[in-house]
């Protein structure tokens, strides 16, 4: 399937049989408690796209030193905003890192616009997470977009760790090097990987030492 937009709802190409697509479209205001309360419009679905809904809060890191760090921004009611640093600590950082597909180990929270001040609304204030939630919307907080006394000089930021693993090795501490990108695990090409890289990976996994070897079954995978 191929996505064309991301705003909570997406259009994705579909191989669903045409006669299985509902001849009814729903137009909602966003406040309804049931989709049956939305306006229903009879429509002949002529496009090869199916409606796809993502129930996770759209979230991103901005202005960081890498893809794993930056000012936290969330999209709510069609606009991107920031999180106030009041009460924001490593427990909230753990939830955010997991949402973004990064490791929550040693997830670090920063306040006082550590990665620069944002623009737009301060969407969330007084957020309190246990650290085990799947989405920041599951954490306690003030009502989103409610009036607060936070300015962008108090924007919250996080720094996450990359999720790595070793697979298909003879022991638990050796194997092909894989890195998680979003929800997908990808094998690392052996080009440019050396013992220094192996040392970093092994340290991340809690092991001492580390040697790089070429995988005998393929010349494109790294074997640590």
Q: What string of DSSP letters covers 137-151? A: GGSB-SPTT---S--
The Cα angle at residue 76 between residues 62 and 87, in degrees rounded to 5: 65
H helix or E strand, kind and range, residue 189: none
| pLDDT beneath 50: ranges in the chain | 1-7, 11, 17-18, 216-224
Tokens of 85: 């640093």
Question: Could you give the CA distance from residue 142 to residue 147 in angstroms, rounded to a whole number?
Answer: 9
DSSP class of residue 153?
G
CA nearest neighbour of 69 among 116, 120, 130: 116
Give the end-to-end CA distance of the chain in Å, rounded to a whole number: 34
Q: Report d(CA 177, CA 28) in Å as an integer.
A: 46
Report how far residue 43's alpha carbon sits from residue 99's, in angstroms, rounded to the nearest whole number: 36
Domains of the chain: 9-53 (no CATH), 59-161 (3.10.250.10), 164-223 (3.10.250.10)
pLDDT of residue 219: 38
The pLDDT tens digits of the residues spanning 51-96 come to: 667 678 889 999 998 888 999 999 988 889 999 999 999 999 999 9
Q: Which of 204, 4, 35, 223 is nearest to 105 (CA)?
A: 204
Cα-based angle 83, 98, 75 (whole degrees, multiple of 5): 35
Tens digit of pLDDT for each residue in 176-195? 898 877 667 888 888 888 88
The answer to whether the beta carbons of residues 118 and 73 sit under 8 Å apart is: yes
The pLDDT, as a whole number, for residue 5 is 28
Gyration radius of the chain's alpha carbons: 22
């Amino acid at each position: 399937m191929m996505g064309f937009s991301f705003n909570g709802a997406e259009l994705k190409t579909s191989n669903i049989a045409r006669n299985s697509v509902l001849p009814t479209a729903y137009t909602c205001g966003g406040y309804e408690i049931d989709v049956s309360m939305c306006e229903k419009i009879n429509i002949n679905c002529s496009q090869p796209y199916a409606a796809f809904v993502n129930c996770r809060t759209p979230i991103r890191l901005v202005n960081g030193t890498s893809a794993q760090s930056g000012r936290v921004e969330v999209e709510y009611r069609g606009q991107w905003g920031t999180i106030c640093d009041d009460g924001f600590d490593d427990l909230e950082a753990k939830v955010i890192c997991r949402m973004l597909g990064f490791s929550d180990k040693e997830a670090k929270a920063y306040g006082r616009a550590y990665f620069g001040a944002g623009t737009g609304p301060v969407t969330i204030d007084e957020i309190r997470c246990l650290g085990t939630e799947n989405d920041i919307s599951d954490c306690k907080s003030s009502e989103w977009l409610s009036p607060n006394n936070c300015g962008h000089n108090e924007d919250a930021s996080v720094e996450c760790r990359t999720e790595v693993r070793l697979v298909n090795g003879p022991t638990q501490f050796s194997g092909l090097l894989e890195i998680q990108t979003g929800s997908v695990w990808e094998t690392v090409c052996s080009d440019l990987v050396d013992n220094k890289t192996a040392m970093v990976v092994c340290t991340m996994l809690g092991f001492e030492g580390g040697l790089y070897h070429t995988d005998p079954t393929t010349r494109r995978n790294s074997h640590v």
